[in-house]
């Protein structure tokens, strides 16, 4: 049997695809997951999980169960987290507890019994706004939008003279600008793992995931990825709802490319330790994405609705510069957006998601988190 890898959050969207990737490469895989109802509605082992993977159930804050899950393990991929910018702004204790205290619980166990490799899922959200270029050609890494400009519907950041800034790919060297509780916890997870890993001789890699999409996303979870949220709306005969004007740019990376990056990080030498962007290296507007999906699902009649409203914690433009991951991990995204979305649409068409977007948006508005 090959090297044994523990995947926390392993029964979920990314974890299950990584499980398939590792099993195919000859690894032995153990999964640790709490099967939270927000993601796994019936709380049972998902049917898509390989029978060749061992599943242990438990919370990442449960030190006894975490130590048991780590027994006999060579490497750890830590994916378990509460996910969602909007929800993190009112489920504050839960996000900090699961993401930061859960990570600390794992690291405490690893300090006592170190493994060869630790890979932790970080997030593009730590950057806040992405990198921009000014009209003069200067790099701008501290772009921000004022409350007054947002209220006026001037969605894009400008320079000190009021001139438009041009969005650019965001590299790892850009300093974090933490705009949500979720972003804060992901940065804390990343730094804790790198710090403890160095102290205890555990080769550690943090992967800053951009917008991940693909099959097995929790379609009835209104705090999951935007493509899954749009799919849930469309499958229930409702138009996609988009904050601001829909022209904000993001980087969408297929879940199989994420799994490939995680496997590369496990195999990478200690010299490759550090933080890496994992994205497609391309940008697309949220509005274009919604239009593509409704065409693929045969719901061209359901035109996306741009709300002209701002959600606290959101940023305007952010997409990945993946040069460092190419050089350091040999990472190369393989799934095009066209192919990935076609696959997603075919899968969604066989599912029966519940649309809970109005509920989630209402929760944000009730707390004053939508302007």
CATH number at residue 346: 3.40.50.720
The arithmetic mean of pLDDT across residues 201-218, rounded, is: 96
Q: Is 147 a domain residue?
A: no
Q: Is 139 a domain residue?
A: no
Would you state the pLDDT for residue 297? 95
CA 91 to centroid of chain Cα atoms: 18
Torsion from C-alpha of 269, 262, 141, 151, nearest 10 degrees: -170
Question: CA-CA distances (angstroms) from residue 237 to 58, 272, 306?
Answer: 37, 47, 17
- Return the DSSP state at 98: I
Could you tell me if 158 and 121 are in contact, meaning their C-beta atoms sit under 8 angstroms apart?
A: no
Which DSSP helix (H) or strand (E) runs through 328? Answer: helix 323-329
Would you state the pLDDT for residue 353? 80
Q: Give the whole-number percent of the chain exceeding pLDDT 90.
A: 84
Question: CA-CA distances (angstroms) from residue 363 to 85, 91, 300, 324, 358?
Answer: 13, 11, 29, 39, 9
Catalytic residue among 182, 213, 276, 310: 182
Q: What is d(CA 131, CA 139) in angstroms, rounded to the nearest whole number?
A: 7
The arithmetic mean of pLDDT across residues 316-340, rounded, is: 97
Would you state the pLDDT for residue 332? 97
Q: Is 371 a domain residue?
A: no
What is the end-to-end Cα distance of the chain in Å, rounded? Answer: 55
Q: What is the pLDDT of residues 50-105, one digit of tens each?
A: 999 999 999 999 999 999 999 999 999 999 999 989 899 999 999 999 999 999 99
Q: Is 141 a domain residue?
A: no
CA atoms within 13 A on the CB side of 333: 24
Mean pLDDT of the residues in the chain: 94
The arithmetic mean of pLDDT across residues 167-179, rounded, is: 97
Number of domains the chain is built from: 1
Q: Is 204 a domain residue?
A: yes
Q: What is the pLDDT of residues 228-239, one digit of tens each?
A: 999 999 999 999
Could you tell me the pTM of the whole model?
0.95
Q: What is d(CA 97, CA 247) in angstroms, rounded to the nearest whole number?
A: 34
Q: Is 145 a domain residue?
A: no
The arithmetic mean of pLDDT across residues 166-194, rounded, is: 97
Q: What is d(CA 221, CA 205) in angstroms, rounded to the nearest whole number?
A: 29
The arithmetic mean of pLDDT across residues 170-180, rounded, is: 96
Q: What is d(CA 286, CA 241) in angstroms, rounded to the nearest whole number?
A: 10
Residue 204's nearest CA partner among 226, 189, 216, 219 is 189
Question: CA-CA distances (angstroms) from residue 118 to 64, 191, 335?
Answer: 19, 13, 26
Q: What is the pLDDT of residues 263-318, one digit of tens each?
A: 999 999 999 999 999 999 999 999 999 999 999 999 999 999 999 999 888 999 99
- Return the DSSP state at 221: -
Would you state the pLDDT for residue 180? 94
Q: Is 158 a domain residue?
A: no
**pLDDT at 40 exceeding the cut of 80:** no
Pairing of strands 4-8, 75-78: parallel
182 is catalytic: yes
Q: What is d(CA 66, CA 70) in angstroms, rounded to the nearest whole number?
A: 6
Number of Cβ within 10 Å of residue 48's Cβ equals 13
Domain limits at 181?
Answer: 4-131+169-366
Q: What is d(CA 142, CA 158) in angstroms, rounded to the nearest whole number?
A: 11
Beta bridge partners of 5: 29, 75
**pLDDT at 1 exceeding the cut of 60:** no
Would you state the pLDDT for residue 37? 80
Residue 220: pLDDT band with limits 50, 70, 90: confident
Could you tell me if 40 and 31 are in contact, meaning their C-beta atoms sit under 8 angstroms apart?
A: no
Would you state the pLDDT for residue 368? 87
Torsion from C-alpha of 108, 112, 117, 118, nearest 10 degrees: 0
Q: Is 154 a domain residue?
A: no
């Amino acid at each position: 049997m090959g090297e044994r890898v523990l995947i926390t959050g392993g029964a979920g969207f990314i974890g299950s695809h990584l499980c398939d990737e590792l099993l195919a490469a000859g690894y032995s895989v153990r999964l640790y997951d709490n099967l939270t109802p927000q993601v796994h509605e019936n709380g049972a082992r998902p049917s898509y999980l390989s029978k060749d993977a061992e599943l242990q159930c438990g919370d990442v804050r449960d030190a006894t169960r975490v130590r048991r899950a780590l027994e006999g393990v060579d490497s750890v991929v830590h994916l378990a987290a509460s996910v969602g910018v909007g929800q993190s702004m009112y489920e504050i204790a839960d996000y900090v507890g699961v993401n930061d205290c859960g990570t600390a619980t794992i690291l405490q166990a690893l300090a006592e019994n170190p493994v060869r490799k630790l890979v932790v899922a970080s997030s593009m959200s730590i950057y806040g706004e992405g990198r921009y270029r000014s009209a003069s050609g200067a790099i701008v890494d501290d772009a921000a939008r004022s409350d007054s400009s947002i209220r006026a519907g001037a969605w894009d950041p400008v320079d000190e003279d009021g001139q438009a800034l041009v969005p650019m790919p965001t590299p790892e060297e850009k300093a974090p600008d933490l705009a949500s509780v979720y972003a804060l916890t992901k940065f804390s997870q990343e730094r804790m793992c790198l710090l403890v890993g160095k102290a205890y001789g555990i080769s550690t890699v943090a992967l800053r995931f951009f917008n991940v999409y693909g099959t097995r996303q929790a379609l009835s979870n209104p705090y999951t990825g935007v493509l899954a949220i749009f799919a849930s709306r469309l499958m229930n005969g409702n138009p996609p709802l988009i904050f601001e004007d829909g022209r904000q740019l993001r980087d969408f990376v297929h879940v199989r490319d994420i799994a490939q990056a995680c496997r590369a990080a496990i195999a990478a030498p200690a010299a490759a330790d550090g933080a890496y962007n994992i994205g497609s290296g391309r940008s697309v507007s949220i509005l274009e994405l919604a239009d593509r999906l409704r065409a693929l699902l045969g719901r061209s009649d359901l035109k996306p609705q741009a709300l002209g409203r701002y959600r606290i914690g959101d940023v305007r433009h952010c997409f990945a510069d993946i040069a460092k991951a190419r050089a350091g991990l040999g990472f190369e995204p393989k799934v095009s957006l066209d192919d990935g979305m076609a696959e997603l649409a075919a899968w969604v068409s066989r599912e029966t998601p519940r649309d809970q977007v109005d509920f989630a948006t209402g929760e944000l508005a009730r707390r004053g988190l939508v302007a």
